[in-house]
Structure 1
């Protein structure tokens, strides 16, 4: 029997090969492992990190049960912990106990028994073939799995062979085209109809939720027939936590779709809520097959498995021979691809920890993250997961998408992209859940960024790999068979490729760093700095984009308080400065670059126009596949290249329009320079770019999406910031602010407003504290406060931070003392796991604690005792950057301070909303910021009295409240 190990912070549970269960320090466990056979573990990379060991090479010699689980039960997700795996495999709580290392052999036996049961099935044949390939590649589980399946190499000739098993794309079903769906009719959904549909979905045994039927009735107004073009029915509906708003809006949406033969698009800000809504639709369609016909989840192409990229990855990995972590990972992906519902790599039925085990680059390599899809020319086109989802969405009643995709496709349709409707199926009815993020999503969707990384990525997309070892396909490779031999097409394609050389060439980031070091003045008495390496011939070529980026970097460094770029440790994470007034030579360099981009734009337009002409000229001769390829190529060039180049050119031409500060009214855009280090860049290298944001991004949202629609419902638990509750004037101001943040104020008719209170008894279910004796600038004191509170609660704590650096500093001081008390600690930005996986762990480990930043503040749904304490490190004021400064000045309606307060209160409301998710929940909210002003305390629900006290007193009251809650009692809060 191999040893087994469960690593924690500081201590480990170790089961020796002799069956002795030990609790040993991490350092000792690491030493003992050197003299032991490879152990059973769960999540090998995390285990190695906790033992202070270097990353395990792939394939790892350790027997990682997550790999065996994924091989055995593909298409299922599980928290990557001993307890999470045990619960998923059906072990009872008594056997799980404290989830020590002696549990791992039992989990191994269960999984191997499951494999043995599949031996006589087609799935068993596939597993045997893959296991042979994986064993040859060095998979640690190979011998055990092969023995369990009774398989040996070579397999019988009549059996599925390893090379065929991993080529899963040959076995996937094909989609078939269907007739276009007619335009929907306009039959209304009455309030009574919506309430009736809701009752049908809930059934007679469902828990009655106050306000849910009222919410469904209010939501039905968004599905009334439109009376005037450009004037949709806009409904703003705030529904307190626990109202049941998802089924509340699904009721009228599904009924409208059925009656009118159209699609309703439900949009969320987070991937987690997309999947949550999909799960709740089992109430509407209990049969999974029927639900699949009527409900589709859509994301951007980069989220899905690309079968062509996977084929290329398999071929490359297979040519290497010998042990190969690539083959192991790709074989497990093949197992998953054969059973997945939709091929979604990010947040779907592929466990989020897959990338942790095999590297995020593995997933990036098999997704279409480079935007190089060749559509109809792909041999796997009719099996493509993306194309499947697009065609299913055309016929679906409900499409669950995300804000970014919805806004982008609406923008393309508004710009007159005549190929947009083929892929995007523009709806007339929208539901925006997480509506408080509409402005954020619009800000991202409608902004423009001319940075080194963005421009270099476009060059790579156009030219492909330039001498480096890469599978990058350039435009010529993707279009070659469409244009070869046709001079009218070859000429503009060559012009595109030539013009693309104006964009940053490979190695631009290092050259920029060298140029900045060389241009920095030396302190008195010191020699001038020199570049780290002599310039190469490429360095000396005049590249207009690189020259412009260098000037931007010089301006931002000159006007910021940044450190020395020659000493990366002195540089902050990101620095910004206003574009105006311009530094010397920026305007001429911008003009030069604009002319170069114009040449690229003209060439792209000519190529696109001539491809469209070919569609017309050869309409009777082109086969459907070629026609669709041309349309897809045109659509992709417009979206991936032309729109970007045109946006950059417009921004560059506007640079000369100097803002002198005397013009009346607010500007339309905010232009600024930003410099920061991006993922994948080396120490000392930074990206720099010119950014343009709409001052009010809800203007393009209202113009391109809301106005053309017939009905829009925007809902959230935190649409409004009502400061002085009970004051009619304040209530009106709160609604007006909500309309401004959602774009409703830019539409002709006023929005219908609805507000449904939460059904929870916050007075008895929750407590709120502001700790008054923790210094905000003392990390040690902050960590001690978290430790005290988490220990007092016995775990079940969510710690929220406004800065990643502070989170990491607290985690270093907090992990070991909590582990010693039996409280596992997990952290975003530390544990190397995606957010969904961390939340799954937190939900399954009832006494664990989790640290996180923004994404955890309003993206966590953990009902029950697993979340009983939320601790916020400080008031979540908005980041004081240039963009916020301008919006604060021009959108605050004369009260900049109130603008800041409103943002902070809404964030506090979102954070508090993580705490109580069901009528049985009890929990406390603690703010560790003694400077928190009283005017922000209205962020908390009615009935929640906020107590200001020292840490010791807060801990005592917290303990008494949680103990009484555990005993089933209610403690009355003292009078405020």
Structure 2
């Protein structure tokens, strides 16, 4: 061990406090200093105790601290002691997580940090005494070798010295430092079990659902009649189906505060238990996925039972890949020491995590800020690189664990994108799950929460994209890294031992890989601009398994890559026709219609279609012959080889064949422009994405195809497997006012059915509406500020600053553009911080949205700026959220997709179509404000041009007042002061 590690016991402590900085000196003196005074002292003082060093450095206007920090960051120690326990990364958040009473942390000055240190070291010592000392010692030695600043204090706490030999090493029989990082050796294996029989079809009654709800809530719970009514009506989604392809559909709008989550968990869990089946609960946002998981703990309070009954499913890219982890560990010795420290912390987490979810699970969302976001990306499962049964860690894989746990679960909490993708793949026989093609394993009952986003999710799931990034990524999957450092080994290396000696397999594989050189070669994006259009591409590999291919002969003409030629024409057309607009955000996009085509586009498209056909046809042959080998060699194939063949045939169809088929379809239709006046099934357009308005720095260009009505394919894939579906949200319907009450209600329901796709199923949906229990007239105020020019960043910033000051924090600022969010943050953050109102921002702070919301929920006087993700699905009850400020009316983005849908799906009322979208978004934003009966809050819209017809978006009883900024600020202060007086 190195003797130079500082001891934390005598260290000073530093925290931001009330617009200044609280410093506890090493002599025990508590000081309040300015940022300049702290910066002056930092050079002379020992390493201080801090919480979230990167954020503190930003507040002090210091350069980044590095990863990990040279300061004694208590979050790093917390990560080591509690490796799978998220916490809000503030002194107050840490204190609450460690069990301190509110009265002891109210001020949260620097003298709080030694207490937190004492608690953490006490827990560490307890762990060492309780049988964890061997792993703790091994990790501590490895962290010490990497120079982790906490090593000395940790070593002292666990009495590491007594476990070291005379040469300073751990005993030979003990777990060695290098072995501690090899977590795949210690993780449990999943075991295959018999296939679950198909569920029964026994119905459940409304009375039974109500009884289950009472049991979940407990006798002391608040009685909500709307919640019980919601549980009753939800049972209709679990009625036995009477005709194939005709599921029971329930469309239920449940106002904010109804308690719809437990309202549908009650009948869903009852049906699952009675019929021995699984109900899939689907959401649009990660926020709500985790919220639902927390709610299910009331149903299954025992952790073991909960793990058996409830599974949370997400896409593969969210999870730790053990093969990537192994490669990172094996190469750590040749890389910076900070990477080893990050890997040690990830290894500690991997041994403790519930499901291996790196993003939004039990790994703290601030982990990347402390230890490097690149380190997380490096160990995550990467698109298209999973080798399934060929992986040495297959039976310990977190993703495979979740898939198999879901087989026997009662409730599977997923997201709309995954549900649609899984259903589509199962329908085509391309599921991740070996057995998913069997009817018994396809879910039959679904609950779609955040149902107002079903069309958005379907739009993403069923669109097609022929772009530079997509085609180049497919080339990398087929051919490998082509000389660059990557684990993308290429199809030949992944399949080599399966096809060698089988000419029927080798020939189509070689043909496909040779044809794959028609996809964009490395460096393709630099060759799209006219200035470099004649620059020849790098030489294509002559032998596909050669790492560094030879140069082509000097007299051999270089043929232009057909994909790059087509992309260049797409770029030309976009640059010629796309409207630039006004100020650009940091990520900008230019769009134009596909038709009419620029000269040579049709011919280039046909050439590319032929080139892609030369890839897809041999791949299709290869897939079919691999599948046939399972039958032909059934008596000689071992289980592992069979699994690999099955996995590769699925991967070929999903990863390559289905995409190539979609691209070829798009290209063959290039010369078929839509008939004037007709309603197209699909919308085609070109998009050019670039950064900072620098024309030579494009990221991507592509041809896109979207369904005009994406709920059509959604209904198409769900009609057969689903026997019942509940679609619910607090904002399914638009209340626009102006007609008779019955006409308005029918129009609103018809629009809701169109937005969710319920109108595309054979039988009509059962409609239900449960009103919010809140007294909005008493609990809320709403204002439209009439004297702020929200097109001026200076005026907008002044308005946000004034309003947040008037509420004393607790403000959520919502933006329709990232560039304006960042601009406002830069202008108001220093002032608010000086006044003791900490401010955080999505797209600014290097933390995920869940962590930002956790901080906002914990720090009662904090403010938070965000975009769409903060508008939907965020639950912050209590005084922590008492003000919502929206910078402008959230009109739909005026892009090509919206233009076409506005023309063809608006029912002849395009302006009304826009209004509906804006009203529903305003309703979602307003819904963040009041989450329980005791809440009070204010909603402010900084758009003096807000039409009166949009004000029906607000709940009944909410009177919207138009007034100036100063008057609005005074009324906010007075209204919230009434709440304080009442409390």
Q: What is the TM-score when the length of structure 1 is the normalising length?
A: 0.94
Corresponding residue for residue 339 of structure 1: 352
Task: Please state if 1:140 is matched with 2:155.
Answer: no
Contact residue 306 and residue 368 of structure 1 kept, 8 A: yes
1:230 aligned counterpart, secondary structure: coil
Corresponding residue for residue 475 of structure 1: 491
1:294-693 aligned at under 5 Å gives the runs 294-320=309-335, 324-417=337-430, 422-423=435-436, 425-512=441-528, 515-517=529-531, 541-562=559-580, 573-659=588-674, 661-664=675-678, 666-677=679-690, 684-693=697-706
Cα pair distance change 1:49/1:819, threshold 3 Å: closer
Output the CA distance in 2 between the equivalents of 1:340 and 1:102.
Answer: 32
Output the CA distance in 2 between the equivalents of 1:10 and 1:540.
Answer: 64
Cα pair distance change 1:185/1:536, threshold 3 Å: closer
Task: Please state if 1:253 is matched with 2:268.
Answer: yes
1:75-154 aligned at under 5 Å gives the runs 75-152=84-161, 153-154=168-169
Cα pair distance change 1:383/1:225, threshold 3 Å: same
1:237 aligned counterpart, secondary structure: strand
Corresponding residue for residue 917 of structure 1: 931
1:742-757 aligned at under 5 Å gives the runs 742-757=756-771
Contact residue 9 and residue 50 of structure 1 kept, 8 A: no
Give 1:938's match in structure 2, choosing from 942, 952, 961: 952
Residue 414 of structure 1: how far off its partner (Å): 2.4
Cα pair distance change 1:325/1:572, threshold 3 Å: closer
Output the CA distance in 2 between the equivalents of 1:379 and 1:416.
Answer: 25
Contact residue 169 and residue 383 of structure 1 kept, 8 A: yes
Contact residue 194 and residue 220 of structure 1 kept, 8 A: yes
Corresponding residue for residue 553 of structure 2: none
1:197-236 aligned at under 5 Å gives the runs 197-236=212-251
Corresponding residue for residue 255 of structure 2: 240
Contact residue 67 and residue 338 of structure 2 kept, 8 A: yes
Moved more, 600-609 or 360-369: 360-369
Output the CA distance in 2 between the equivalents of 1:534 and 1:609.
Answer: 37
Residue 466 of structure 1: how far off its partner (Å): 1.1
Corresponding residue for residue 730 of structure 1: 744
Moved more, 270-279 or 429-438: 270-279
1:255-274 aligned at under 5 Å gives the runs 255-274=270-289
Cα pair distance change 1:345/1:871, threshold 3 Å: same
Residue 236 of structure 1: how far off its partner (Å): 0.2
Output the CA distance in 2 between the equivalents of 1:185 and 1:327.
Answer: 51
Root-mean-square deviation (CA, aligned residues, Å) is: 2.2
1:211 aligned counterpart, secondary structure: helix
1:604 aligned counterpart, secondary structure: helix
Moved more, 149-158 or 948-957: 149-158
1:645 aligned counterpart, secondary structure: helix
Cα pair distance change 1:563/1:28, threshold 3 Å: farther
Instruction: String of CA shifts for 1:281-321, please: whole Å, max 9, x gaps.
Output: 1222111111111111111111111111101110011344x
Instruction: String of CA shifts for 1:38-72, please: whole Å, max 9, x gaps.
Output: 33222222233333333333343222211110100
Paired residues, what number? 947
Output the CA distance in 2 between the equivalents of 1:861 and 1:139.
Answer: 37
Contact residue 455 and residue 755 of structure 2 kept, 8 A: yes
Output the CA distance in 1 between the equivalents of 2:575 and 2:32.
Answer: 53
1:138-177 aligned at under 5 Å gives the runs 138-152=147-161, 153-177=168-192
Contact residue 59 and residue 324 of structure 1 kept, 8 A: no
Contact residue 688 and residue 698 of structure 2 kept, 8 A: no
Contact residue 536 and residue 560 of structure 2 kept, 8 A: no
Output the CA distance in 1 between the equivalents of 2:584 and 2:730.
Answer: 42
Output the CA distance in 2 between the equivalents of 1:917 and 1:119.
Answer: 43
Output the CA distance in 2 between the equivalents of 1:417 and 1:365.
Answer: 27
Output the CA distance in 2 between the equivalents of 1:703 and 1:337.
Answer: 40
Contact residue 722 and residue 734 of structure 1 kept, 8 A: yes
Task: Please state if 1:718 is matched with 2:727.
Answer: no
Give 2:811's match in structure 1, choosing from 782, 797, 816: 797
Output the CA distance in 1 between the equivalents of 2:137 and 2:577.
Answer: 64
Moved more, 153-162 or 67-76: 153-162
Cα pair distance change 1:410/1:569, threshold 3 Å: closer
Moved more, 633-642 or 574-583: 633-642
Cα pair distance change 1:537/1:308, threshold 3 Å: closer
Output the CA distance in 2 between the equivalents of 1:923 and 1:754.
Answer: 28
Output the CA distance in 2 between the equivalents of 1:537 and 1:629.
Answer: 33
Output the CA distance in 2 between the equivalents of 1:580 and 1:73.
Answer: 58
Residue 628 of structure 1: how far off its partner (Å): 1.6
Residue 28 of structure 1: how far off its partner (Å): 4.3
Q: What is the TM-score when the length of structure 2 is the normalising length?
A: 0.93
Output the CA distance in 2 between the equivalents of 1:6 and 1:314.
Answer: 35
Moved more, 419-428 or 602-611: 419-428
- Which ranges of structure 1 fall in alignment gaps of 5 or more residues? 520-530, 970-976
Instruction: String of CA shifts for 1:457-481, please: whole Å, max 9, x gaps.
Output: 1111111211112232222222222
Residue 442 of structure 1: how far off its partner (Å): 0.2
2:726 aligned counterpart, secondary structure: strand
Contact residue 251 and residue 727 of structure 2 kept, 8 A: yes
Residue 9 of structure 1: how far off its partner (Å): 11
